[in-house]
Amino acid sequence: MYVELKDINKSYGDFQASKDVNMGIEKGSLVALLGPSGSGKTTILRMIAGLETPDSGDIIIDGVRVNDVAPSERGIGFVFQNYALFRYMTVEENIAFGLELKKMPKAKIKERVAELIELTSLKGFEKRYPNQLSGGQRQRVAFARALAPNPSLLLLDEPFAAIDAKVRQELRSWLREMIYKVGITSIFVTHDQDEAVEVADQIIVTNKGGIEQIGTPKEIYKTPETPFVSEFIGRSLLIEDYHKLKGFEKGEYKGAIIRPEFVEAFKSDNQVFSDVMDCSEEGVVTDILFRGNSLELKLEVNGIELTTFRSLERRSVKKGEKMRVIIYRLFAVDDDKAYLLENQELKAKDVKNRRLEAYLYSSDGYFVV
């Protein structure tokens, strides 16, 4: 483990920002600290940077306990939420600042700055001031400035928060590419699950100062371990009397979380679903919302409201229309754990001899219309 946090606790007055935090990050990985605001993710980042001191516990970077090491001696680069670029310095001067402090010879500074300008494709902007740059360009300057002194760990606090939605998408892939190119271990904080899933190869989900789950984006998505993770990731709905749905029995659970993609709704004359027709039950369309690239259907099934997405390529549906509904699976939750429950009737059928795993998690769309 390159970065390790052991039993970290941190409070601000009555507010406990970190509760028994234990985590490890491998060298070369790109990790997202994901959680809602106030979940303690930024506190963790700032403690690793040395901007905050933990009340108890150890922070270890590259095998060395750094609790008492000054921030500037920890070998980290930090990208602030609003970039905190020095607004009275040009792009060049911003990037050179950290190197000057390290008393690097002038010629070397020049060389390194040119290198970073090249890397972040900021050529032609060297003499500009931050207020003369676009949001995306500022982020690149912040990135270049953080990387200038050759840190071994890069920390980014909500790196995309200050950028408008359209450019954000572009910058996500840019940043990911850039980090792999440089090969630096990186941790970034975000409250946006799409961002975490898209950029990171490891996600740490935080909630109420503690860590809920650590895993790859796929693991976090497919096998959430706690009620919080199953609800926070994806668009989820908590349903208490899930046992009223066909194919599920009541267990010792508080309720279940059903994501839109777990719900299939089709017309009763749809041939593709003919072999699973008896696994389905009736649902009434109560609302239809246009989501740009798909429709969001609200369905009432046995008094329970469910949500699903419908491709625009499929036959159109009307409000009040009766449809057939199958719930593939759901996450049953109790107080602190989440369990994957599959539709028992559907499982028993094992339709068309497909392997169950492929059937349940087919991304190519088993039910193609």
Partner 1 sequence: MAYMKDDQRKKLAVDVTRNSKGATKYILITISVLFVFFMLILPLFSVIVNSLKEGLGFYLEAISTEYVLAALGVTILATVITVIVNTFFGIVASWALTKFTFKGKQFIATLIDIPFSISPVIAGLAYIMTFGRSGWAKPVVDWINDMLGTDIKIVFAIPGVVLATIFVTFPFISRELIPVLNAQGTDEEEAAALMGAKGWTIFKRITFPHIKWALVYGVILCTARALGEFGAVNALSKTRGETFTLPLEIDALYLAGSADSITASFAVSSILVIIAVIVLILRNIFEHKSKANREV
> Quick one: 136 or 149, whose CB is closer to partner 1?
149
CB of 101 to partner 1, least distance (A): 5
Among 27, 53, 56, 101, binds partner 1 (CB under 8 A): 101
**CA–CA separation, 280 vs 328, rounded Å?**
10
Check binding of 232 to partner 1 (CB under 8 A).
no
CA distances from 358 to 171, 207, 365 (A): 33, 32, 10
Q: Which stretch binds partner 1 (CB under 8 A): 23-31, 48-56, 198-206, 317-325?
A: 48-56
Check binding of 290 to partner 1 (CB under 8 A).
no
Q: Under a CB-based contact definition with an 8 Å cutoff, are residues 325 and 281 in contact? A: yes
Check binding of 174 to partner 1 (CB under 8 A).
no
Among 98, 209, 227, 247, binds partner 1 (CB under 8 A): 98
Check binding of 159 to partner 1 (CB under 8 A).
no
**CA–CA separation, 317 vs 310, rounded Å?**
10
Token digits for 303? Answer: 């008094």
Among 4, 6, 20, 80, binds partner 1 (CB under 8 A): 80
> Burial letters for 196-215: b for 16+ Cβ neighbours within 10 Å, e otherwise?
bbebbebbbbbbebbbbbbb
Check binding of 352 to partner 1 (CB under 8 A).
no
**CA–CA separation, 258 vs 253, rounded Å?**
14
The closest of 72, 78, 47 to 157, measured between CA atoms, is: 78
Query: Which amino acid, one-letter code, is at 227?
Result: P
Check binding of 135 to partner 1 (CB under 8 A).
no
> Quick one: 129 or 309, whose CB is closer to partner 1?
129
**CA–CA separation, 258 vs 231, rounded Å?**
9
CB of 183 to partner 1, least distance (A): 22
Q: Which stretch binds partner 1 (CB under 8 A): 86-94, 133-141, 249-257, 315-323?
A: 86-94
Rounded to 5°, the CA angle 231-233-239 comes to 25
Among 49, 279, 297, 323, binds partner 1 (CB under 8 A): 49
**CA–CA separation, 60 vs 27, rounded Å?**
13
Check binding of 73 to partner 1 (CB under 8 A).
yes
Q: 348 Cβ partners below 8 Å, 6+ apart?
A: none
Among 57, 75, 149, 260, binds partner 1 (CB under 8 A): 149
Please tell me the count of residues contacting partner 1 according to CB under 8 A: 24
The closest of 36, 35, 7 to 21, measured between CA atoms, is: 7
Check binding of 75 to partner 1 (CB under 8 A).
no
Check binding of 129 to partner 1 (CB under 8 A).
yes
The closest of 166, 142, 172 to 133, measured between CA atoms, is: 142
Q: Which stretch binds partner 1 (CB under 8 A): 79-87, 208-216, 236-244, 271-279?
A: 79-87
Q: Which stretch binds partner 1 (CB under 8 A): 26-34, 72-80, 203-211, 346-354?
A: 72-80
Per CB under 8 A, residues contacting partner 1 are: 49-51, 70-73, 76, 78, 80, 82, 84-89, 97-98, 101-102, 129, 131, 149
